[in-house]
Chains A and B, each alone.
Chain A
Amino acid sequence: MQTDDWLNQLPPPDPDGAERVRARLQASRQAPRRRWPLALAATGAVAAVAAAALLTLRETPRTEALDAVQSVHVAWSADVQLDYQGVGVAEGTPADLVVQWQEGIVRAEVAPNQGNRVQVRTTEAVVTVVGTVFAVERSPLGTTTWVDRGQVHVRCADGTEHDVTPDADAVTCLPVRPGALLGRADALIARDAELDIVLDTLARGLDAAVPGSSTEGELLARRLEQEARGGDAASAQGTATAYVAGGHTLRLDTVARTAARLATQDARCDEAAAWLARLDAPPLDDRLGLARCWTDRGDLERAEALLRSARGAGEPLPESWLRWLDAVEAP
């Protein structure tokens, strides 16, 4: 509800404003209506000149860079209006426009039955329209199309096709490249999206990723985080193993620690020890978790050896563990 709180910062309508308008309205209704023959004639002349100019320009191709942080309005032609906020390129003739859209939102209003064709193209989608009002948003989540009036045809890069109408929900074409799918996964995670949706995106990314590539490594690391978040220790273990098998090292520290923690939670102490052994200097917290795992399993000797080693190195062991060591070592 944060956006709503901000909206409520707007000043309310002037409480006396409506009353003033009412007084003006009554005065206007009592006054005789004015005629504007001259103005009408002038308007007609201007319209005729504009129509002639439009016919001349109708087939002239042109290219226009679209790049705006704030919303900008562009009258591409008399029949095609664009509002955009983001980055792209518009090219074509007044009657046949192609917008190559990279990022942000572009909204097009196309007069129906005038023979105009407008296409918005992104990496994920081609949106084709003849006479409607529609908008396309490209973000890390993909390319989303929604329609205010009329109908548009959306062809997604994954081969699916959709007809979007005002009655239907917006259609989102998902990214297809592994790097873009990684970006979508990060955007979903930042928005606290449902776990299944995040995992589905990561799975698509891994299907498309080149084995051994850094993108695959990043996707596997994200999947491990999410599986751990969902408490799916078995899948997480498989993902961590795949990470190591793929020769990835960039996030080995995090991967090994996460895998070790999950293993200790399931009393798989040997697996946890193997994961920690991959690290040059496993953190004390993780080693204490392993010691707890061993003591719970009754393997006191290994726990004792681990704790002695830490104490010998002058590491700050908690008081409870120091007492435990003293008790074990007492004759």
Chain B
Amino acid sequence: MRRTTPSLSLFVDAIEGGDRELDALAAAWLPHVYAWCHRLGGPALDPEDAAHEVMLIMCRSLHKVHAPEVFGTWLFATTRGTLANHRRKAWFRKWLPGPVRDRPTTAWSPLRTAEAAQAADQVWDALATLPEAQREALVLCVLEERSSREVAELLGVPQGTVKSRLRLGRRAFRDALVAQGLDVDVLLEEVG
């Protein structure tokens, strides 16, 4: 599903206004942040916990963003950092005594077939092997159907870098699928 960046004026209003304007900014960006947490965090993290934390940081630290044009970049970087913290916590949690948390299931629709779930697991695994920069490029450009210019603004890197990461990411992703023993072309036909 194609996502478009919310209007810059929402940020300006939130900086100059009160709680209502801040709510409007949060409401506009929350679906984006939630989708990033879901897709970049993978199945091992709870996207709701991560998105909640990102939005809290946003509400508390909005004044640190010096220009509306860089708000998207700042929010994405905050999401990235928050996900990294959650990954560390998830790793640390494994070594602590106590009840083991269930794998979050909110992202998994009960209507999905077992075959689709298996395919998704394989894609998650393949995606997890990619360097973070390439994973981000694939998620933003392919899954969220954003233009390379838009992604470059979000990531705060040149457009050429986005294209390069996307190209390398596609290749690495394909290689990762093949490394799992998948006959990529054949399975594509079956899925299709």
Q: Is the CB–CB distance between A7 and B161 below 8 Å?
A: no
Interfacial chain B residues near A71, Cβ < 8 Å:
128-131
Determine which of B35, B39, B48, B191 lies in contact with A5 in the assembled complex, contact meaning CB atoms within 8 Å: B191
Whole-angstrom distance between the alpha carbons of A149 and B40 in the complex?
20
Chain A residue with Cβ nearest B19: A29
Min Cβ gap A98→B in Å is 21
Interfacial chain B residues near A6, Cβ < 8 Å:
119, 123, 126, 173-174, 177, 184, 188, 191
Q: Which of B10-18, B26-34, B62-70 contacts A (4 or more CB under 8 A)?
A: B26-34
Q: Is residue A3 within 8 Å, beta carbon to beta carbon, of the partner chain?
A: yes
Known: A21-B52, A83-B131. A10 touches B39 (CB 8 A): yes
Interfacial chain B residues near A83, Cβ < 8 Å:
131
Chain A residue with Cβ nearest B143: A7
Known: A6-B173, A83-B131. A11 touches B120 (CB 8 A): yes
Known: A18-B34, A25-B56. A11 touches B158 (CB 8 A): no
Determine which of B107, B123, B157, B184 lies in contact with A17 in the assembled complex, contact meaning CB atoms within 8 Å: B107
Chain B residue with Cβ nearest A85: B129
Q: Is residue A37 within 8 Å, beta carbon to beta carbon, of the partner chain?
A: no
Q: Is the CB–CB distance between B48 and A17 below 8 Å?
A: yes
Whole-angstrom distance between the alpha carbons of A20 and B108 in the complex?
15
Q: Is the CB–CB distance between B161 and A166 below 8 Å?
A: yes
Whole-angstrom distance between the alpha carbons of A28 and B56 in the complex?
8
Q: Quick one: which of B87-109 are within 8 Å of A by CB?
A: 106-109
Q: Is the CB–CB distance between A2 and B52 below 8 Å?
A: no
Whole-angstrom distance between the alpha carbons of A73 and B123 in the complex?
20
Interface of A is mostly: mixed
Q: How many residues of A contact B (CB 8 A)?
A: 38
**Which of A4, A17, A26, A29 is packed against the most chain B CB atoms within 10 Å?**
A17
Interfacial chain A residues near B188, Cβ < 8 Å:
2, 5-6
Interfacial chain B residues near A323, Cβ < 8 Å:
none
Interfacial chain B residues near A21, Cβ < 8 Å:
30, 34, 48, 51-52, 55
Chain A 19-36: CB-based contact to B (< 8 A → 1; otherwise 0): 011101110110000000
Interfacial chain A residues near B34, Cβ < 8 Å:
13, 17-18, 21
Whole-angstrom distance between the alpha carbons of A135 and B158 in the complex?
17
Whole-angstrom distance between the alpha carbons of A14 and B188 in the complex?
25
Chain A 143-163: CB-based contact to B (< 8 A → 1; otherwise 0): 000101000000000000000
Determine which of A2, A9, A135, A166 lies in contact with B123 in the assembled complex, contact meaning CB atoms within 8 Å: A9
Q: Is residue A138 within 8 Å, beta carbon to beta carbon, of the partner chain?
A: no
Chain A residue with Cβ nearest B157: A166
**Which of A25, A69, A135, A146 is packed against the most chain B CB atoms within 10 Å?**
A25
Min Cβ gap A115→B in Å is 25
A-B contact pairs, 27 of them (CB 8 A): A2-B184, A5-B191, A6-B126, A6-B177, A7-B123, A7-B127, A7-B143, A9-B123, A9-B191, A11-B112, A13-B31, A14-B109, A17-B47, A21-B34, A21-B48, A29-B56, A70-B179, A71-B128, A71-B129, A71-B130, A71-B131, A83-B131, A85-B129, A166-B157, A167-B158, A167-B161, A170-B168
Binding site for B on A (CB under 8 A): 2-14, 17-18, 20-22, 24-26, 28-29, 69-71, 83, 85, 105, 107, 135, 137, 146, 148, 166-167, 169-170
Q: Known A-B contacts: A17-B47, A25-B52. Give 14 more (CB < 8 A).
A: A2-B185, A2-B188, A6-B126, A14-B106, A22-B27, A24-B48, A25-B26, A29-B56, A70-B125, A70-B179, A166-B157, A167-B158, A167-B161, A170-B164
3 nearest A-B residue pairs (beta carbon): A13-B38, A71-B129, A18-B34
